[in-house]
Every structure is written in structure tokens, then in C-alpha cells.
A and B are shown apart, each in its own frame.
Chain A
Amino acid sequence: MSAKQKTQETTSYKPYSWQAILEFRAMWVVLALGLVLPFVISKPLATEIMVYALFALAFNLLLGHTGIISFGHAGYLGAGAYAGAMVVYYGGVGVWVSLLAAMAGGTLVAVLIGLLAVKRKGAYFAMISLAIAQMLYFLALSPFKRWTDGEDSLKLPPLSVDFPFHIDLSDQLSLYYFVFVIVALAVLAQWRILSSPFGHALKGIRENEDRIRACGFDITRIKFLSIIYSGLFSGLAGGLLAIYLGAASITILFWMTSGIVVMQTVLGGTHTFMGPFIGTAVFLYLRNNISNYTDRWEMWVGAMFMALILLFPEGIWGTIVQKIGERRRPSAS
């Protein structure tokens, strides 16, 4: 199959290249904008954008940076949400422990999918990850109904944080800033991971797997780690989502969640670092507004997504980065 596949000319970024610097600045600009976001749009929407942006960035670790097509991310997010909610619901533990449990939940599912599918490429990985996530959905729906409450979501009591200082999470603004700080830290952690030698090996695998193997890298191990990182951050996003929603609901596990994160990521630009973040913000803002006017938002989203794939496959931020690159090229060469 690899012979059949032609990699599109991608805007890959190198360490300390103009692109890495641009992305680095964009990251700080976006995070700075995040500080004032709840005063520009509604607080719940702002919180939702932060949570899903973290999820999209985690997803893009696989799609954009390693070149693995995953359609099973609903499984990571849902496992995170349920693990986080269940330890609170049954164990009565605090928010921090709940987030740790969420990360553990996401990682566990990543290990499962990784073990089954890490050696499969392209479409195969997409199908297997999708199937495993769907299995979790059906498990939570009926056989494990006793613990997950099936179609009725698992509802959480009002939460508050006591360490390091008191934060009342039932207040919308406090909740936003709580989520924002965690998401910002996770974004920085992902930036750190991707700037490491490991992060560059990931990009090497995306561009030319055989060559990286020939260089002596253990492809399977690197890919597996990348899946784990993706599951870890997705699980964290799931834990935050459960806190934001005040519940772990079964729709999080449904495969449309995986589809939506793909759309958000591609909308922003898969071959960039901040693209998924920007794509998520635009996607959720549009969805919020379109659904005020029509019940048929799926039709509009589907049509716009097809147009995006055909006309701007690099996405919003990806296209901007590309244009800047084209403008630089004459002087650079």
C-alpha cells in the first residue's frame, strides 16, 4: 500500500525554522486570547471550546504529527469522562483525583487500541480504532448499565476544588479559568513533547516511515508511545468535559464524537500545531450560531466539510502558514 500512497506536499515544520517560531508565537497569542475569551462569547461556549481544543490537539498528535488515522478518539474521550465521573460518583474523591483517573482511563483505552492496531497502517488503523471505540460505547450502553447508567448520563454533584486554594466550579467563570489553566498547561506539555527528539521522530514517521526505520528507530515503539500520549491528553480532556457537563453522557462515546474531532482538526489544519485549536474554536462557534437558525446543522456541516476537503485541505491555519511560506520562499532560496 505504501507504494500506492503519495504523500501530499505538506508544510512540515522543522526545529527553529520560521514555521516553528510562527507556531510558537501563535500558541502564546491564542493562549493570551483565551484569557479574555469568556468576556467575548458566552462562558459555557468558551469552556467547551477549551475542552474540545485540548481534545483536538491530542487527536492531532496522531493524525497530523505521526500520520496515524484514528477514528477511535471517542473511546479515549469517553473513557476519560466516565473514569473521571465514576471515581467522583462512587468514590467521592476530589477533582484532582478525578482528572488523574480520567487520564488513566484514556491511557488504558489507548493501550488497548495500540496493542491491537499499532502495526496496522492507514485505513486499517482507522477501522480498528473505530470498532474498539464503538465496542466501548455499546459496553457502556447495556452490559455495564449498572455502573454507567446507560442512556441516562452519570450525573455529578456540584464540584469545588480545595487545593491549592478554594475554587467553586459551579460558578461559570471560575470553571472557565480552572479549565483554561489546565488546558494551557497541557498545550505547553504537548509543545514540549513535539519539540523533543521523540517529536521529530514522529514527524519523520509521518513523512517517510521506511526511512525512519532504516535510520534505526523502533517504529512500533514510537507509534505506540504516540498513541499513549494521545490517549492521555484525550482522557484529560474527557475528565474536564465531565466536570464541564456535570455528567458523563453516553453520546461522548458515540462515534460521531470521533468524526467531529476529525472535522475540527482538519478545519484548523492537520499539519500545524495550533490548527486544531483554531479549528475547534471556529467549528464550535459556527455550530452554536448555525443551530440557532436551523435544525439541519449536520447538513451544513457535511457540505462545508466536503468543500473544505476539496478546496482547502490544509485548513484555516494551515493555509495561512502555507501562504506565509510562499511569500518567504523567494528570499529564503
Chain B
Amino acid sequence: MELSWEIILMQVIMGLALGAIYVLLASGLSIIFGLLDVLNFAHGTFYMLGAYAMFTAISLCGNFWVGLVAAVVIVSLIGGLFEITLLKRLYGTDQIYPLLLCFGLGIFIPDIIKMAFGLIGKVVDYPAMLQGATFVGNLILPKYRIFLVVLMALVLLALYVFMKKTSIGMIIRAATRDRLMVNCLGINVSRVWTVGFMLGIGLAALAGAVAAPMVQTIPNMGDEMTVEAFVVVVIGGLGSLGGAALGGLILGQVVSFVSLLAPDWSNVSIFLTMALILVLRPRGLFGEEGRD
């Protein structure tokens, strides 16, 4: 196959768009793990819920942007409800129990969605203003992919500002370090955890909602994504937002180029990348020493 620079650039953009979804998904996973010490095995399920909430909201109101906001808000609330009613009971037990509870939820919810929406995939349309592509010289730039990359950059910037500059972000960072001390300072840590969990779930839902027009929206679309989000945080280093971002972008490029050159290997390449990074740098790219 002739590899012109146009094709290469095109694959880079495709990879960036795919990477953007990984980044959104994995940063949510990373926040939840860092703060709550809970490995959210239902992360892909919330991603799927985001896509379905998006579909429902758009079919009700007809506007892509309203649908996007509605999807994130609705799914975060579902996540918050789950945290307050069920997950909260298991804090302070062995790490395995919250993990298994999330796993159970991840089996439970897709079946509910199958009952409510059926097995056949739903189609979410691209918004009118982001359909098609723009041309720069010979280069075809699909507008929606560009939008994804911009959205990811904005979300990361917002997250950075939120975590570093606002007081609640400061409390979240402090609680990630030492929950007991933050509690001693008179801050209701349990509420901070709920906020952190909802933030993480909201990011997963956002990933699902923006991915919905590009992929098939089916009840089991989240299964693979849970595993892929794990791979991203293992590459980046668990609990590090920067790591999740870099890991997601790397993985996006790997998948994009391997699908072009050796399509059979595209799924395997994800895990080979992870294995390679684990051999070279066991704690992940930005992983902190001792946090394993």
C-alpha cells in the first residue's frame, strides 16, 4: 500500500478522535480510582448509558447539544444514586467488594437496556453543523473528528482548572491523598466522594454520548470499553490525569495505524502496547512510585 503523507495525516486525525474518547473515559476511571479506591468495573456500562441517554434525549428534543448535556447530567445522577445507595455501604471493606459490586452492576444494566430498547442498535445522527468534512488542500478533515479533539482539549483544560484552581478541586486532591486528614479538617468527605464519583461517571457518559454517532449504539458497546479504559490507565499510571490523557492519545494512534496496516491485529495491538509499557516502565508513564 502506498503511504502518502495525506493518508498518514488522516490516520493521525482518526487516531486523535479515537484517543479523545479513550481520554474522556479513562480520566473518569482514574478520578474514581484515585479518590475512592474503587476500580469501576461498570465504567463501560456508564459509557453505554451515556450513548443511550443521548439517543433518548435527541429523539425527545431533537437537538444534539441539548442531548449531550442531558446525557451527561442524567447518567451522572444515576451514578450518584448508585454511589449513595449501594456503593457507600462497602467503603472500608476489602478492595474487592466495591469492585465486585460495580461488576454486578455492569452485568445488570445492559440487560435492562436490552429490555427497554431492544437488541437492535440505535442510530444517533451527527449534528447538522458537524456533518461532512472540510478540505485543506488535498486533505480531508472530517468535522466531527476535529470537534472531538477540540472537545477533549476543552474538557481536559476544564478538569485541570477545576482540580487546581477551585476549592472543591483542592478538597478532592487532598482527599485523594489522605481522606482521614481531610475529614479531621471538618470537611464532609463522604459528600466529596459522591461528587468525585459523579464527575468520573459524567466523563464516561460524555465519552459514550460523543462516541454514539460514530459507533453502533448497542447494549453491549461498553463491555470492550471497560477493558480498554483499564489499558489506558495502566499505560498512563493509575490515578494520574496526565497519564490517562497521554495513554489515551497513544492508544488512539496505535489503534488507528494498526487498523490501517494490519487490521487483524488492531485489537491485539492495544494489549501489546500495554505489555510493552509494563516491561519498560512497570508503574506506567506517569505512575507515582509506591502507588501500585
Contacts and interface: CB of A to CB of B under 8 A. Distances in A.
A125 to B, nearest CB: 9
B8 interface: no
Given A138-B267, A142-B264, A302 B105 contact: yes
Contact of A1 (B108, B282, B291): B291
B96 A63 contact: yes
A182 interface: no
Contact of A313 (B92, B93, B179): B93
B271 A296 contact: no
Interface stretch (A48-56, A128-136, A239-247, A279-287): A128-136
Interface string B261-279: 0001101101110110011
A119 B292 contact: yes
- Contact count band on B: 35 or more
Contacts of A266: 100
A306 B282 contact: no
A299 B108 contact: yes
A12 to B, nearest CB: 13
Contact of B107 (A4, A122, A132, A298): A298
Contacts, number: 132
A131 B95 contact: no
A309 B104 CA distance: 9
Contacts of A145: 264
A143 B234 contact: no
Given A131-B274, A296-B111, A123 B268 contact: no
B48 to A, nearest CB: 14
A150 B135 CA distance: 40
A250 to B, nearest CB: 13
Interface stretch (B125-133, B166-174, B198-206, B225-233): B225-233
B95 A116 contact: no
Contacts of B100: 262, 266, 305, 309
Q: Is the interface of A mostly helix, strand, loop or mixed?
A: helix
Interface of B: 33, 37, 39, 86, 89-90, 92-97, 99-101, 103-112, 114-115, 179, 223, 227, 230-231, 233-234, 238, 264-265, 267-268, 270-272, 274-275, 278-279, 282, 291-292
Given A6-B92, A128-B274, A135-B270, 8 more contacts: A5-B94, A128-B234, A131-B234, A132-B271, A255-B227, A270-B96, A309-B101, A310-B86
24 contacts: A1-B37, A6-B93, A69-B95, A117-B278, A123-B33, A123-B39, A123-B95, A124-B234, A124-B238, A126-B39, A130-B230, A131-B274, A132-B275, A135-B268, A135-B272, A135-B275, A141-B267, A142-B264, A266-B100, A299-B108, A299-B111, A299-B112, A306-B108, A309-B97
